[in-house]
Structure 1
Amino acid sequence: MPPWYAPTTFNAWCRRLLTPGTVLFVIVLGAIVATELLFDWAEKAVGAYLVTTNEFRPESGAIWEQGRQSDTARQTLAEYADRRRHSQRQVRQADTLGRLLDGVDAAQGAMVSADHFLELYLKLPPVLSHQIVSAHDLLALTASGRWARTFLEHQGRDMRIYLLDDRNQVVHRLNIDANLLVHVKRGEVAVGATLDRISDFAAHIYPAERFFRTLNTFDELARARIVADPEALLRLKGRIQRVGISEVTFGESVDLGFEVAAVEGPKVILMQGVAGDVRRLQRVLVSEEASQRTWSREVLP
């Protein structure tokens, strides 16, 4: 048995340290360290313990709070990315100017090619497209080769449109005010109903035969300003039975509703006419109607 007092020489220190118990302890400790470095069993054991006891531990403290904030941030970013992708997809796939304007992100705006914007612009009735920008202006920009893309963004209730070149420099700026914006969107809609069910038209509905007969008494320019796109009406499948004139004036335009007897049921095609000419036609129609009523009363016995 080694003495209880401290060794006094180096050899005595070595004999004290190299006892079987000390050597065995060092070997066991080295084996534990080596296996931990090779197999990470301690971390795995602690992790397994934490997993099994996770539901019993309170979710509190800085670590849990950071985790919640990270999860919330990831979820918010994912939702934003989804909205952004949906908006971009809607803009790219828009087949009317109204759908394009609906797809413009309120915060980020939207970018489309010059060709795409021009294609949608040409689908508008002339009475509407001319209020956005003159076709001659677009023709000049197209011929110059400077117009490469179009950026759209919200400005309050209005829509601002920038025609850009290859370096994103503005070559022309357009503005669609709130009234015209509503009008553009409505002008591209066919309503599945009759004129009687649309309050704007209910008070001024005329037989189609009488409407177009009276329209033909006007000169060519006035007719074009009242019915801007007669070809579109000719392409309709079904016969136009009645025409309604809206009581409401949007800026310089008035809604016209053409009720069509289609196979799938009645529908109303909305178009816009120049307010002054439409109201002049309406006065003639009202006058004819009043004259007809007067004549009917006179011939009655």
Structure 2
Amino acid sequence: MSALLATYQKIVRRQYFLVGLMIGLVLLGEMAFDIVERAIGRYLVWQNAGREKIGRSWEQAQQRGTAGVQLESVTRERRRQALELESISNFEELVQYVETNQQTILPPSQFLQIYHQLPYFLQPLLFNPDSLVTDARTQRVANVVVDGNRSGFKVVMLGADNQTVRRASLSTEQMNLLINYGKERNLNVRSESRFANYFFSAGEFWDLFESLPPLRRRQFIQEVTLLTESAGEITGVGVSNQYTNEFVEVAFAVSSIRAYVYYLPEDYVMDLLSPDREKAYEFYRLRRQQIFDNR
């Protein structure tokens, strides 16, 4: 009898276990189905372009997306600026870059490359060449900071400790000298009053040029590139009776309304005019009077 009771209880327990297991499986399946259903529902809602865009999850995702786009945009812009900065090879390009991108840091080697593109007699407007030789010997300069625009420009040389090694500031007039040197302009040299006293036909100019001492003639050829690039186009040359920051404006006309303008030191002009003693003396006297008036 006891054996039969034990067998019965065992069967009952197994049935209860099976029933409980089935109920557990049903509940587990229901939970799994509910989870999958919710996930599919959220996915479909998320992919619905017409859904109402609200909720913290959406806002967080939107913020992450916006931050990613902004980071990509900043990275792309910095890469563009770096490539543009590396391509700068002359002073005008540097000024244009700084006007667009504001304060800029250059390696000394690139700044010196730009510096040496300037005519040697205009280089001291920035820095005296002798001082740069000293800096090169001592290797004091680590970076060059440039800032400003065509109305005013600043160049600061910094050492490895970010202390100022050398500083230069350019006025609007000096900027015009450096940027416009050797540029073609709309200019009727014959009709401008400042060139009236010292205007020479092409033939007269070449006679004066051939009379220059050999060294000065080579300097003219080196600094006035028009003489080797487009000498045959020159129709006349005007020497201004006004000084610009201690330099003399010399305009090489290539047509009745176009001319290339250079700014040359006074001794260049005096040597050019020297065969015509009367004009040379008049120019010298005018210059001395201007110096006296400016005191």
Match of 2:262 among 258, 271, 279: 271
Matched, 1:152 2:149: no
Question: What SS does the corresponding residue of 1:117 show, helix, strand or coil?
Answer: helix
Provide structure 2 residue ranges, at least 5 long, that are not aligned to the other structure.
1-11, 284-295
Which AA in structure 2 matches 1:29? Answer: L
Query: Where does 1:101-120 land on structure 2 (aligned, <5 Å)?
Result: 101-104=95-98, 109-120=103-114
Q: Which amino acid in structure 2 is aligned with residue 239 of structure 1?
A: G
Which residue of 26, 29, 53 corresponds with 1:28?
Answer: 26
Q: Which residue of 2 is the match for residue 198 of structure 1?
A: 187
Q: Where does residue 162 of structure 2 map in the other structure? A: 168
The answer to whether the 8 Å contact 2:99/2:149 transfers is no
**Secondary structure of 1:126 counterpart:** coil
On the 8 A contact 2:248/2:266 being kept in 1, the answer is yes
C-alpha displacement at 1:65, in angstroms?
5.8
Residue number among 225, 238, 248 corresponding to 1:232 in the alignment: 225
> Is the 2:111–2:144 Cα contact (8 Å) retained in structure 1?
yes
**Hey, what's the Cα distance between the residues in 1 that align with 2:151 and 2:58?**
43
C-alpha distance in 2 between matches for 1:69 and 1:206 = 71
**Aligned counterpart, 2:41:** 46
How far has the Cα of 1:64 moved from its partner? Answer: 5.6
Report the alpha carbon displacement of residue 141 of structure 1 after superposing the two structures with TM. 1.6
- Post-superposition CA distance 1:30-78 (Å, at most 9, x none): 2455688xxx7345412332145x2232345666666666555554544
Distance in 1 (CA, whole Å) between partners of 2:88 and 2:240 is: 28
User: Which segment drifts farther, 226-235 or 75-84?
Assistant: 226-235
Partner of 1:9: none
2: CA distance between counterparts of 1:237 and 1:268?
12
Residue 130 of structure 1 corresponds to which residue in structure 2?
124
Amino acid at match of 1:92: E
Greater CA drift, 41-50 or 118-127:
41-50
- Report the TM-score, using the length of structure 1 for normalisation: 0.62
Deviation, structure 1 residue 21: 6.5
- Give the secondary-structure state (helix, strand or coil) at the position aligned to 1:56: coil
In structure 2, the CA distance between the partners of 1:162 and 1:219, relative to structure 1 (3 Å rule), is same
SS of aligned partner of 2:175: helix
Name the structure 1 match of 2:289. Answer: none
Identity of aligned residues (%): 19
SS in 2 for 1:58: coil
Q: Decide whether the 8 Å contact of 1:150 with 1:164 is kept in 2.
A: yes
Taking the aligned partners of 2:142 and 2:117, their CA distance within structure 1 comes to 20
Structure 2 match to 1:141: 135
Aligned positions of 1:273-288 closer than 5 A: 273-274=264-265, 284=279
1: CA distance, partners of 2:19 / 2:253: 105
TM-score (norm 2): 0.63
What is the deviation of 1:143?
A: 2.2
Residues 246 and 254 of structure 1 are in contact (CA less than 8 Å); yes or no, is this contact kept in structure 2?
Answer: yes
Q: Which amino acid aligns with 1:271?
A: Y
Give the RMSD, CA atoms, in angstroms. 4.7
Report the equivalent of 2:251: 257
Structure 2 counterpart SS, 1:101: helix
For residue 86 of structure 1, the aligned residue among 63, 80, 90 is: 80
What CA deviation, in whole Å up to 9, does each residue of 1:90-115 have, x standing for no partner? 22111212212322366662222222
Distance 1:230 1:160, change over 3 A: closer
Aligned ranges 1:51-62 → 2 under 5 Å: 51-52=46-47, 54-60=48-54
Give, in angstroms, the shift of residue 124 of structure 1: 0.7
- In structure 2, how many angstroms separate the alpha carbons of the residues matched to 1:81 and 1:219? 56
Letter of the 2:156 counterpart: Y
- CA contact under 8 A between 2:221 and 2:228: conserved in structure 1? no
Aligned length: 258
Inter-CA distance 61–45: structure 2 relative to 1 (3 Å threshold): closer
Q: Distance in 1 between the 2:206 and 2:174 partners?
A: 27
| Contact in 2 for aligned 1:255/1:272 (Cα 8 Å) | yes
Q: Distance in 1 between matches of 2:149 and 2:91?
A: 17
Gapped runs of 5+ residues in structure 1?
1-13, 289-301
SS of structure 1 residue aligned to 2:141: coil
Secondary structure of 2:95 counterpart: helix
Q: Which amino acid aligns with 1:45?
A: I
